[in-house]
Amino acid sequence: MITNKLLLLILSGVILLSSCNLPVGQASGFYGPQAWIDTPLDQSALPLAPVLIVAHGYDPSGVALFELSVNGAVANTAAPTVANGNLYQISESWNPPASGNYTLTIRAQGTAGAWGAPASVSITVGLTLPTPIETSTLPITPSPEPTITAGLPASATPTAPQVAAMRPTAPPLPTNTPKPTSDAVTFSHSVTNKVLKVGGCGGPTSTTINVKITNPGRVQTVMFYPVFHAQNGNVSVVDPTALDANGTGKFKKDIAIIDSPRTENLTLGSYSYHFVALDGNGKEVGRSNDFSDLSITHCKATKTPTQSS
For the chain, the three-class secondary structure string (H helix, E strand, C coil) is CCCHHHHHHHCCCCCCCCCCCECCCCCCCCCCCEEEEEECCCCEEECCCCEEEEEEEECCCCEEEEEEEECCEEEEEECCCEEECCEEEEEEEECCCCCEEEEEEEEEEECCCCECCCEEEEEEECCCCCCCCCHHHCCCCCCCCCCCCCCCCCCCCCCHHHHHHHCCCCCCCCCCCCCCCCCCCCEEEEECCCEEEECCCCCCCEEEEEEEECCHHHCCEEEEEEEEEECCCCEEECCCEECEECCCCEEEEEEECCCCHHHHHCCCEEEEEEEEEECCCCEEEEECCCEEEEEEEECCCCCCCCCCC
- Do 260 and 209 fall within a single domain? yes
Q: Which domain holds residue 241?
A: 1-24+184-302
pLDDT value of residue 206:
87
| Number of structural domains the chain divides into | 2
pTM of the shown model: 0.44
pLDDT value of residue 120:
95
Q: Does some domain include residue 269?
A: yes
- Do 114 and 205 fall within a single domain? no
45 vs 131, higher pLDDT: 45
Q: Does some domain include residue 112?
A: yes
Q: Which CATH number do you get for residue 51?
A: 2.60.40.10
pLDDT value of residue 27:
41
Q: Does some domain include residue 168?
A: no
User: What whole-number distance in Å separates Cα of residue 258 and Cα of residue 254?
Assistant: 13
User: What whole-number distance in Å separates Cα of residue 233 and Cα of residue 236?
Assistant: 10
pLDDT higher than threshold 70 for residue 213: yes
The values of phi and psi at residue 230, to 5°, are: -75, 155
pLDDT value of residue 161:
64
- Do 8 and 74 fall within a single domain? no
| Final residue before a domain boundary, out of 127, 153, 170 | 127
- Do 18 and 89 fall within a single domain? no
Q: Backbone dihedral region of 7: left (phi > 0), alpha (psi from -120 to 50 degrees) or beta? A: alpha
- Over residues 132-153, the pLDDT tens digits come to 555 445 555 555 555 555 554 5
User: What whole-number distance in Å separates Cα of residue 232 and Cα of residue 157?
Assistant: 81
- Over residues 261-309, the pLDDT tens digits come to 444 455 678 888 889 899 888 788 888 888 888 888 877 765 555 544 4
Cβ neighbourhood burial of 58 (10 Å; 0-12, 13-18, 19+): buried
Q: Which CATH number do you get for residue 298?
A: 2.60.40.1930
What would you report as the CA-atom Rg of the chain, rounded to the nearest whole angstrom?
Answer: 29
- Do 188 and 268 fall within a single domain? yes
User: What whole-number distance in Å separates Cα of residue 258 and Cα of residue 8?
Assistant: 9
Q: Does some domain include residue 146?
A: no
- Over residues 229-268, the pLDDT tens digits come to 877 777 777 778 889 999 999 999 998 875 444 444 556 7
- Do 39 and 17 fall within a single domain? no
